[in-house]
Amino acid sequence: MSRVRGYENRCSICGREMKIRASDARDIPIAVRLQPPRICSDCVEDLYDKKEDIFDDFMDEYDEEYQRKIQASLNSGPQPQTEKSKEGETTQADPPKIKSYKELSSMLKQVVIGQDDQVEQLCLAIIKKERSTSEKTRSNIIIVGDSGSGKSLMVRELAKILGKPVTLEDSTNYTEEGYVGDSVRDMLTHLINVAGGNVERAQRGIVIVDEGDKKGGLQDHNRDVSGQKVLESMLVMLDGEKVTIPRRGGMGDIVFDTSNLTFIFVGAFPGLEKIREKRLRNSTSIGFGLSEQKPEEKITSYIPEDFIKFGISAEFINRFTSAIIEMKTLTVEDFVHILKYAKYSPLKQEEKDLQREGITFVYSDDVIQEIAEKAYSYKSGARALSLVVNFCFEKMWKEILENEPGTFATCMLLKGVTQDKSKYVID
């Protein structure tokens, strides 16, 4: 009989053996992991489809202590992380202290290069929400930027610094409630999972809705189940209302309070810049045309009207009042700075890996400039840096790993390595 972590995988209702691989144990519902009862998913669905009271009657047949364990696990999930007090008692760990705006933005700028103004905007919006005493203060943010500009990285690192759970959701996976595809309530379920089952902690987390621009467009609203209808389904969460999340098998519901959630709507929004330019041309003052303005004086901020003309509903976009952040297009100079100084620089990572092999990596500014220019030519943002760096080190690593540890002491990339991966010296 197959087992998962010491439990017999036989359903207590139908008696059938549940063939579950040990590698899939983390995906087994709590009601299946605890025993008794052992219930297969087919029986859970069958009981729920008939009537919930049948399931309750079945549960009553078992020892009260096991019922208490199951219900406690379902209601609260894994307990919050604890720590020992001086007296030896176990207490709930203190939440991370809220960083000051200055400290938070400084830490984030070490990771997100070339986006100083954008980092400051995001930190300001988050800190204002954290310190607000008003229950009506919302923290819904839009981030517009090309692929590889650092949108998701900026938010993820912010959540990490603040100790908040964060989930990155691809909006293209979602459809209107009742249709094939994920429901928007699944976003909250994913956040609970990231928070280790701790609903209270999840309620203060961050939801990133990526590829948000793909939900726009003037579509047929009578049949639109994956576009504007999805955005409309999110309105309750954006308003900070309580959302009921049904548990699988009908074993009660989770009431999720979204009032402290931060929603960040992310996308490239191709064509949005032209909409803005047209608006600015039409709104020039008499005697002071747009063409007469200096570049630094031109209004660069997007406004809700631009997104509405793009195809996002006014109902949806007007709920994003905290900030509209436009990411800057990164330059070759930004790429050079990322390679040299960024916390997650692919070049610095290679240097650390080589140090573990006992090899000192030596590089020149000319080679770094060449790598940056090559990555920039791909027009895919900072992600291209990893691709180019991996190419440059590929043949060198092959030679290192084909020899015994300690064979080499130093290595150096030579000019032209982005075209010919054999352009290196190692000894």
- Mean pLDDT, residues 362-366 taken together: 92
Say how many C-beta atoms besides its own lie within 10 A of residue 225's C-beta: 16
Q: Which residues contact 371 (CB under 8 A, 6 or more apart)?
A: 335, 339, 347, 385, 388, 389, 392, 417, 418
Instruction: Give the model confidence (pLDDT) of 365-388 as tens digits.
Output: 999 999 999 999 999 999 999 999
Place of tokens 């990285």: 153
| pTM of the shown model | 0.70
Instruction: Give the model confidence (pLDDT) of 223-252 as tens digits.
Output: 444 456 778 888 989 999 999 988 765 567
Instruction: Give the model confidence (pLDDT) of 79-132 as tens digits.
Output: 444 333 333 333 334 445 567 888 999 999 999 999 999 999 999 998 888 887
Structural domains in the chain?
A: 3-76 (no CATH), 101-326 (3.40.50.300), 332-426 (1.10.8.60)
What pLDDT is attached to residue 67? Answer: 47
Q: Which residues contact 277 (CB under 8 A, 6 or more apart)?
A: none
Of 107, 115, 105, nearest in space to 382 by CA: 115
Residue 194's Cβ-side half-sphere holds a number of Cα atoms within 13 Å equal to 23
Q: How far apart are CA 346 and CA 340, in angstroms?
A: 9
Phi, psi of 85 (to 5 degrees): -85, 175
Burial of 51 (0-12, 13-18, 19+ CB in 10 A): exposed
- Which residues partner with 265 through β-bridges? 142, 209
- Which residues partner with 208 through β-bridges? 168, 264
Range list of H helices, 173-303: 185-194, 199-202, 228-233, 235-238, 272-282
Burial of 371 (0-12, 13-18, 19+ CB in 10 A): buried
Q: How far apart are CA 417 and CA 190, in angstroms?
A: 43
Tokens of 272: 């949005």
- Whether the Cβ atoms of residue 171 and residue 263 lie closer than 8 Å to each other: no
More confident residue, 13 or 73: 13
